[in-house]
A and B are shown apart, each in its own frame.
Chain A
Amino acid sequence: QHTLEGNRDHTAVIHICLSIYLDRYFQTLYSSLTVVVLVHLSSDVDVIDCSVPQYNNRLDTPLPDVPFVRNLSAEQKKLKEKEKGSWTQLTKEEKLALYRLTHELSYAEMRQGSKEWMTVLGGIFIFLGFTGLLVWWQRVYVYGDVPHTLSEESVAQQTQRMIDMRVNPVHGFSHKWDYEKKQWK
């Protein structure tokens, strides 16, 4: 028992030493890690900042909160300067360029829709067809035989019995059987 306690003391000391060492190690590591992580974030992912107004294409909002192109090149900045003068001086291409700087899609482009529905419908049919094949295979290879009462002979016996019993004699089954001539009416 004396040795066990001694061992416990040793392990406790070792633990303390390790924790101090690791703590110091992680302190330095953490500071360098954070720098690495920050650099990584800013260069990699294109994150939308939802706390500021965003551009949007909406039919019911003709003038969005911000222009589509925020960071103008030198050429675009020159065009913006020219916009401050008389618009009759601008060429048609310049006017179109100014429109496209502020708006991503025109109303016609917003309304146009796509042919995606054809792809969707085609995909649905493909999968339905595949499912049909699976169901067919299942019918052939998994299901057992049908009951013998569905055989032609059995059905004939059944039908005869129904006629003898006068099933639905007024408007239904037996009404359609001619009892004199012993045949269907």
Chain B
Amino acid sequence: MVPSSQKATRCCIKMAASGRHVGQYFKRNGRLLTFNLEPSLSRRSFGWTSSRGQVAADANKESDENIILPRKKTWSQVAVLEALSSTVGRDPTMYNYRFQDDPFLSPRSFPESKLFSKAQESGKAAAKYFIDSHPKFFTKDFAEPHIPCLMPQTVSVRLEEVSEEALKERISLRKVSAATDMYDQLLQSGTNVSMETTHDLLDLICLYCDQEPGQEVEPQTEDVEPAEERPRVRGRQNRERPEFTWRENNNAERIFNLLPHRDTRCYSALIRGTVKHKAYTKAFSLYTDLLNERLTADVHIFNALILAAPFVREKYAERWELMEELLTQMNQQSVQPSLLTFNNILKSLRRCDSLARSKSLQILSEMKAVGLVPSLATYNHVLGIFYKTSFTAKKTNILQEILSELRGKQFTCQDPDDVHFFRTAMKICLDIKDLELGYEVQRLVEVGENWRLLGNDSQSTGYYGVFFNLLCMMENVDGVLKWYKHLVPSLFYLNSQATRSLFQALDTDSRLDLLPLIWKDMKSSGLDKFSDLVEDLLTLMAREEHSPEVSGRS
């Protein structure tokens, strides 16, 4: 059947079909037609129909000879759970999932939520601390199969003798001073320490700026304050991650100078450490030493130096010149730039106001030429450059271009500055009072798992606060209320500023009958303590004569 139908199509294609061809076509198809009709006509002759069917089946088999067997599907361990969780999503009517335990223990305001989440984490940390420091009480293993993450981990040093193994153990346990002492003892006893271990030791000391890692986390008792908002929030954040400054001639430098033969990795450790701990001039002097010893730097050294460049020069032009010089040297030494390189360039460009705009576009095109995909941090820096003041903000529409390029894309965190992008973008939308762009940004946040890139609690609250302000300013009351129900209190706790803008929105659209609802939420979230908010509310209510049903008088 198949060959004859092929011939039929060929005849159809050939325009100059002679009568003979046509006649043959009809002859053949006529035969086929009669063959097709006959089975239905002669239903009684079963044998013949079945053989006909068989021939047809064989012909079908020949045509489908290459049956493609589907490959066996392998599902990941969590496939079932992921499918289920995609049906559940987020519950917008309740507080955040991690607080859903006891209704009494649900946080009603943002400071309370921070306090409660810190309490949860500190509980887990305390449990882990006890298990690790007293492993002899936790020897019996009930679980089948074995759960390694619940077992006590070694935190104390076991090897006591002076040897390289002991040094490696101390390095892996991140004990800075113990490792330095062990290294000094090894040197005094004359043992040769391998380059690998020396590199690791230098990395350790430079990373922690010669302090023990445990000192970075301050005890939380001093930070517990009553649930009131204070303007010291920024100070508190700084205290949570104290930044050490690089001391002159600390252990890292001492060990570094004692080394007979320093290679790129040693320099890399020191330069990265000095830049991380704000000793910028020292970093550059180390770099000149590296160049004098005719070594090639690696990409990490260049990344760190680019970050340090704006701090060692005063004028914008000089800063850019220094960065350009670094980049040409990078090219000469054939070091491949990474995403972090470009992000650091843009970050440093933010400090070179006048030159920034033109150069940043050049940088973006270079990035694409090298083949790197820009991350959210890149776009964040670009936005910071272009929308620096409200004056410059009016002259550009780069946010729109960026958003249209990023539409529907999923992101992962590749740079710690990625988390600032959404807040910056939303702030710009608020400044230029563009609601549509705001909705675009929110749509981007809701794609897949992008909401995870809103950062920690404070950062995501900042984002939603700005978004809510924009809505109250620009959107009509129904939209505002819809988003209000969507965001509060699962993603965003009302604060005084948001409440004020909400009052304004209600006032603009004269929906003051919704005020009792808002008052109920205010009371539950503790905002009724702010007397100025209560006064605003009462002013709105008392300003005009409301209809009896609103005011509750019969």
Query: Is the A/B pair a real complex?
Result: no
